[in-house]
Amino acid sequence: MSDTPDNESNLYSYTQSYAHLITERHAMVKPHTHHPYQLGASLYMPATRQDIWQVIKRDKLPKINSIIICLEDAVSHSDVELALERLQTLLNTWHEHSDTINEPSRVGLESDLGTQQPTRPLVFVRPRNPMMLQQLADYPHIDLLDGFVMPKVDMYSLSNWRMVCQNLSDDQLLMPTLETAALFNPHHNQELAIAFKEAFNQPVFALRIGGNDLFATLRLRRPRNSIIYDTPIGTLAYQLLGCFVPHGFYLSAPVFEYLDQPMLFMQELSRDVSLGLVGKTVIHPSQIALVQQAYCVPMSMLDEAQAILHSEAKAVFKFNNTMLEPATHRAWATEIVNRAEVFGTINNSSNEFNSRLQA
């Protein structure tokens, strides 16, 4: 008879089973054409604006990675009908010129890998609620969009979002936003991570961390002189990474709203990148270049990643005065290569972003 108490034995069995469950469900993440790193700098644009078509065809903001046409917080209740009308007008215009606006291929902006600028940014729409998404699903030419950002998704609202998404094309990408009080419950988040695997026919492209809404649940606002990782929402961000990434999901970084704090913005960007967050919401064009610079891959890092992924790599070897172990470093190396394909590379000695950060 085992000397292990029954309760400890049961706990061990449960842990083993749960680890196996994560492995199985990790393999269930639906593949998609684009890599989430293509989000890069994501600019929210109120749907009431009349220059969105100029951004899509790159007459304006030619370097932007992705845009999110907002029908939620960026549009007042009294302007909702106007915003919907302008979105339909945009879709009609896009359809008329669809032969000149190709799909955004998976390539970078200014890369040393020989890639070229995408023909247009990724384009998403953020509806106010599931009922509005149901309405949008019937819009002519709605399939031109790359996908939708779904606000305030948790276990309480998931079934409503799931139902309306059945009316969307299976090729469109979904980005649920994690921004409600329920996200502070780790048990809820484990349930949500598993539920996301089976909820939609469409790929879950990335999960967006809604920083400002999460601050609001604590009756707080982001401090002016701190990066988000020095706040309670930063602690939650680490927990969300630990919960959702092992299930195969990517997360994107929350907005930084203080335009007069570029150095603090860069410090936060550095942390975003180091944590594997795939992009960052921006609120002003001046933030776009800083995001893209932060995500550029140093050549020495790309060299290490390619050495790890080499078909003849040894089990453990020394490279750049560092021990590399493909068995444990392969996932990291794959993401570094993906990042370099989108943002390009930079020589370590001429890394302007890090130089400014350390000044």
For residues 40 and 124, what is the distance between their CA atoms, to the nearest angstrom?
13
Residue of 222, 157, 212, 215 whose CA lies nearest to 188: 157
For residues 180 and 217, what is the distance between their CA atoms, to the nearest angstrom?
7
Residue 249 above 80 pLDDT?
yes
Mean pLDDT of 217-227: 96
The better pLDDT of the pair 289, 99 is held by 289
Residue of 52, 94, 93 whose CA lies nearest to 69: 52
pLDDT at 112: 44
pLDDT at 348: 77
**173-214 per-position pLDDT tens digit:** 999 999 999 999 999 999 999 999 999 999 999 999 999 999
Angle between helices 326-343 and 288-295 (to 10 degrees): 150
- DSSP labels, 251-275: EEBPP---TT-HHHHHHHHHHHHHT
pLDDT at 353: 67
Mean pLDDT of 295-316: 94
Least confident of 25-39, 101-115, 344-358: 101-115
3-state secondary structure of 332: helix
pLDDT at 118: 67
pLDDT at 96: 93
Q: Which amino acid is at 54?
A: Q
pLDDT at 335: 95
- Residue 355 exposure: Cα atoms within 13 Å on the Cβ side: 8
Residue 356 above 60 pLDDT?
yes
21 pLDDT band, cuts 50/70/90, is: very low
Residue of 288, 285, 124 whose CA lies nearest to 202: 124
**100-139 per-position pLDDT tens digit:** 886 776 544 444 444 456 689 999 999 999 999 999 999 9
**Number of other residues whose CB lies within 10 A of the CB of residue 72:** 22
Residue of 191, 175, 174 whose CA lies nearest to 183: 191
pLDDT at 30: 52
Residue 9 above 80 pLDDT?
no
Question: What phi and psi, each to the nearest 5 degrees, are found at residue 31?
Answer: -70, 160
**307-339 per-position pLDDT tens digit:** 999 988 999 989 989 999 999 999 999 999 999
pLDDT at 10: 40
Angle (nearest 5°) at CA 240 between 294 and 338: 40
